[in-house]
Chain A
């Protein structure tokens, strides 16, 4: 699959901050997020709850909570600055050029409207064409996402469909206006594994056919490694590591990425019943400003200096980016040392 990394990126975000006022002070949910996304590319944003992985995408669509304050150094979509855009202007962009697929297809579909009405609504709301054209496109897309008897399905209500079919409808709605970017927030988490595989293959196939960019927000590293081109790992409101999916997942540099990958149980025979690798401690508070690396109290490689200075953003020769006080060589050597507690259990790294 050809992604033209020489071209200007479709989405370019730098220094994205977002905070929400609460009783204890400002909850600084995003603390300087940077990423770029090219046409036709799949970027997976991975993190645990509270890492800010969903909020970062909601913010770029203008769907973050109203009382939150957002700032960024740069936020462009398709060459257009979207940072200062008003909510109505963002609404026009949404659905038209960007579309979103949420986790739970039951709540993202309106239960009192038929499938057909919901498909056509997005299309005509953005003035793309007549109702007849919209209906034709709706039928084409429903067939395209693997729904048989599409014409009859148009008159059905969401509750008449199974979870997998509902998510297919949601995907069809997202495709109605032929968007350049689709953001899928845990699109398969609510689905059974057999359905999950089908929906992911479908997304991948459609992405190649329509040439869209895809941001996949997920906590499931298995899902991510099977579908993403690049991965961004988020922790406490920053991207701690990003780069090519295979590299990041199979040769992680940042200690957090490594912990995250290692603590997933594997489906492989001959398991020795040994304990899983864990990341000790819990996520730090996001209240107020902070100094130093936010992962330091859970990090096996933390030094005293980690508390003093913010970790430097480093770039490797292969274009990976990570935030850590240690150099690439140190992290790499530490990870491949045989005495390291994890490698056997984690495997996949020759």
Chain B
């Protein structure tokens, strides 16, 4: 299976805290991640703040350079693309529609930006594309010359979406696109994203911390903890039959307006670990209620369980036998050997 976007054994490290007196420490933002996204698929990446999901997004967009490993778009490393060619194929949508739109530009200029940067298009052609795209995202034509300050949060996010699709890209990286919006607006934007995906045959990498939203929009889910994928698989498995203790914990902590949903029993836990000094063995073991002695020393390999792939020692020996045949688990294993 070769997807439109492939991440292979990716590691991204930053030097932090360096000064004249202190030696910089290494922050392992992404610590061996491999995944593959098929054309037309929605893959969600779930995790808590600081887990590395935004770094992963920035690396896929080519803003962050991998320390090790690579990202392939349509089989070609993204580093080999010309910046503008890459931008024509992969585009971001950001979380905060207030910071993602230049307050000094009109809606037309905001949406036209990727086209203007790329160049080689007549003004009339650009305007036509902008108008078409505005229609696609449900922005009235009369807003063409408005400034973002005169728009609501939902309208701004529509402008941001229009800017992302104006070059008709293949892949869109949505970094928490609805978490700054009101719930009624969130529903509108999620519906719009779903419509656009079908109409334009888009592939989404959807980064979120909200499992309900993820459940609604995605085909597959990857759960990240401290720079590593702990569980990846179809939504039905990962969210509704979670295997990894961390995924279960996330699932239980999600509060829903359903009858009988009550607060989960408080679990006493260590805080979120320091990403410059991650725990040995399985990164999750200090917080894990199921931790075994082996978890403190050895990082778990990726195991195929049902339709999903889980990195947890609990499943050693219980896993399906075909794990070697599954490319994704092999990828995870490769990423986590060291």
Contact = CB atoms under 8 A, between A and B. Distances in A.
A299 interface: no
Interface string A187-227: 00000111011101110100000000000000111111111
B257 interface: yes
A225 B188 CA distance: 23
Contacts of B212: 222, 264-267
Contact of B190 (A202, A223, A276): A276
Nearest to A246: B259
A267 B254 contact: yes
**Interface residues of chain B: helix, strand, loop or mixed (majority):** helix
B261 A278 contact: no
A244 interface: no
B271 interface: yes
Contacts of B254: 193, 222, 267
A283 to B, nearest CB: 7
Among B154, B183, B239, B272: residue with most chain A CB under 10 A: B183
Contacts of A201: 263-266
A285 to B, nearest CB: 11
Nearest to B260: A348
B182 A226 contact: no
Interface residues of B, number: 51
A310 to B, nearest CB: 23
Given A200-B263, A267-B215, A276 B268 contact: no
A218 to B, nearest CB: 10
A220 B178 CA distance: 13
Interface in A239-293: 246, 249-250, 259-261, 263-269, 271, 273, 275-279, 282-283
Contacts of B235: 271
A81 interface: no
Interface string B134-166: 000000000000000000111100000000000
Contacts of A162: 271-272
B261 A226 contact: yes
A52 to B, nearest CB: 14
Contacts of B268: 146
Contacts of B269: 194, 198
Interface in B235-280: 235-236, 239-240, 249-259, 261-269, 271-272
Nearest to B184: A279
Contacts of A143: none
A348 B260 CA distance: 10
Given A164-B271, A192-B49, A197-B264, A48 B250 contact: no
A14 interface: no
A164 B287 CA distance: 15
A279 B181 CA distance: 14
A341 to B, nearest CB: 13
Interface string B8-22: 000000000000000
Interface residues of A, number: 50
A307 interface: no
Given A48-B183, A265-B216, A283 B48 contact: no
A267 B267 CA distance: 22
Contacts of A48: 182-185
Contacts of B187: 263-265, 276-279
A260 B257 CA distance: 11
Nearest to A350: B259
A162 B257 CA distance: 28
Given A204-B263, A275-B194, A282-B154, A249 B184 contact: no
Given A197-B266, A222-B255, A282-B152, A265 B184 contact: no
B209 interface: yes
B4 to A, nearest CB: 20
A250 B190 contact: no
B186 interface: yes
B216 A271 contact: yes
Nearest to B152: A282
A267 B235 CA distance: 10
Interface string A171-197: 000000000000000000000111011
A269 B258 contact: no
B334 interface: no
A162 B271 CA distance: 7
Nearest to B50: A192
B96 to A, nearest CB: 13
B303 interface: no
Contacts of A222: 212, 254-257, 261
Interface in B164-188: 182-188
A65 B271 CA distance: 37
Contact of A261 (B49, B215, B257): B257
A347 B261 CA distance: 14
Given A165-B271, A197-B266, A263 B184 contact: yes
Residue among B190, B266, B272 facing the most chain A CB atoms (10 A cut-off): B266
Nearest to B251: A267
B263 A227 contact: yes
Contact of B183 (A193, A260, A282): A260
A269 B266 contact: no
Given A219-B183, A265-B190, A348 B211 contact: no
Contacts of B262: 226
Q: Which of B211, B262, B263 gathers most chain A CB within 10 Å? A: B263
Given A222-B256, A226-B255, A282-B154, 18 more contacts: A193-B210, A193-B211, A197-B253, A197-B266, A201-B266, A219-B183, A222-B255, A265-B186, A265-B187, A266-B256, A267-B251, A275-B194, A276-B187, A278-B184, A279-B184, A279-B187, A347-B258, A348-B259
15 contacts: A193-B211, A194-B48, A196-B253, A222-B254, A224-B257, A225-B255, A246-B259, A249-B257, A265-B213, A267-B256, A268-B215, A269-B239, A269-B240, A275-B195, A277-B187
Interface of A: 48-49, 146, 162-165, 192-194, 196-198, 200-202, 204, 219-227, 246, 249-250, 259-261, 263-269, 271, 273, 275-279, 282-283, 347-348
**Nearest 8 pairs between A and B by C-beta?**
A222-B255, A263-B187, A265-B216, A48-B182, A276-B187, A192-B48, A269-B240, A197-B253
